[in-house]
Amino acid sequence: MLSKIIRQADIDHFSKWLERAEKMVIVSHISPDGDAIGSSLGLWHFLNSQEKTVNVIVPNAFPDFLKWMPGSKDILLYDKYKEFADQLIAEADVICCLDFNAIHRIDAMGEAVLASPARKILIDHHLDPEPFCRITISHPEISSTSELVFRLICRMGYFNEITKEGAECIYTGMMTDTGGFTYNSNNREIYFIISELLSKGIDKDDIYRKVFNTYSESRLRLMGYVLTQMRVYTDCNAALISLTKKEQRRFNYIRGDSEGFVNIPLSIKNVVFSCFLREDTEKPMIKISLRSVGKFPCNQVASEFFNGGGHLNASGGEFYGTMDEAREVFEAALNKYKPLLTAQP
């Protein structure tokens, strides 16, 4: 049995909306990851079974390793089909906002969502949700939005309506937001849910291979290069990797090629804090990704030094300046947080 973590009032409220809604839209965050796409499609499959007219819209493209997911071909990219998407958003009865806590996380689409008269529900696991939805289901203690979608569907009494395809999407989101169940994954109910998803006929081993083992040769070579350039700050139990635009060109970088790189330095003994600096190809800025293990709050570093935020162990931000300057800011952060970084667990 699963604990009833979602408030009954929210379940009842959303069930009521579902009774009346015909047109529904699901939106998720910019640069969608496995959980954004997994939770959106998981909910999409379910709503399709309820005979709703439902569309998933995301701000921009998602990585190739998620394109096998059932339903992914029907996802609308806002930056490509803005006019059509604006119309769907404006005419929707209900808009489901998945896997983000702040309207700016859906970029230009935010304006259309805020302006729409649709009823809005937020289903998310990031800290401090902004109050832009009538129903807010926010559970930062849960490791993925996909898990919340599973819980919501079950609590509404529709476990039987979850199809194999829907289960595959939910599983993918749960798996990617926990690094294949290697972090944020100690809640035993996760494994109960996996067991339920397996009962739908999913092949979890195959999903793992499709998501994690279908990289291009150039990505692997890029990874090798980035790691040879890595800086390790032994006295701070931290490491830094970076990627300039020039280096991206040299390795025929395409979006998504550096996905997950930031986690690799954490496999070094004693390293508990990792930073990845990537020069953006579109905006004149450096994208910061931070990861930590244990209690070190990398989201604090993100908000204090890089105008960002996120979770305790996974956060990010942006930096406007050169790569050298960004590295200096990171080193200043290390200096400040050295006592915490070197504290015994």
Binding residues for Mn ion, rule: CB under 5 A, are 35, 99, 145, 177
Which residue minimizes CB distance to ligand 5GP?
316
- Least Å distance between CB 317 and ligand 5GP? 5
- Considering CB distances under 5 to 8 angstroms, the limit depending on partner class, which of Mn ion, ligand 5GP, none binds residue 316? ligand 5GP
Pair 112, 90: CB distance under 8 Å? yes
CA–CA dist 213, 215 (Å, integer): 6
Closer of 70 and 260 to ligand 5GP (Cβ): 260
> How far are the Cα atoms of 55, 89, 300 from residue 102, in angstroms, in the given order?
21, 17, 17
- Considering CB distances under 5 to 8 angstroms, the limit depending on partner class, which of ligand 5GP, Mn ion, none binds residue 274? none
Site of interaction with ligand 5GP (CB under 6 A): 126, 289, 308-311, 314-318
- Least Å distance between CB 102 and ligand 5GP? 7
- Least Å distance between CB 176 and Mn ion? 8
- Least Å distance between CB 124 and ligand 5GP? 10
Count of Cβ atoms closer than 10 Å to residue 73 Cβ? 7
- Least Å distance between CB 166 and ligand 5GP? 23
- Considering CB distances under 5 to 8 angstroms, the limit depending on partner class, which of Mn ion, ligand 5GP, none binds residue 35? Mn ion
CA–CA dist 60, 76 (Å, integer): 9
CA–CA dist 297, 291 (Å, integer): 9
CA–CA dist 74, 270 (Å, integer): 44
Pair 132, 114: CB distance under 8 Å? yes
Q: How is residue 125 written in tokens?
A: 């696991």
CA–CA dist 297, 290 (Å, integer): 10
Closer of 135 and 314 to ligand 5GP (Cβ): 314
Closer of 286 and 334 to ligand 5GP (Cβ): 286
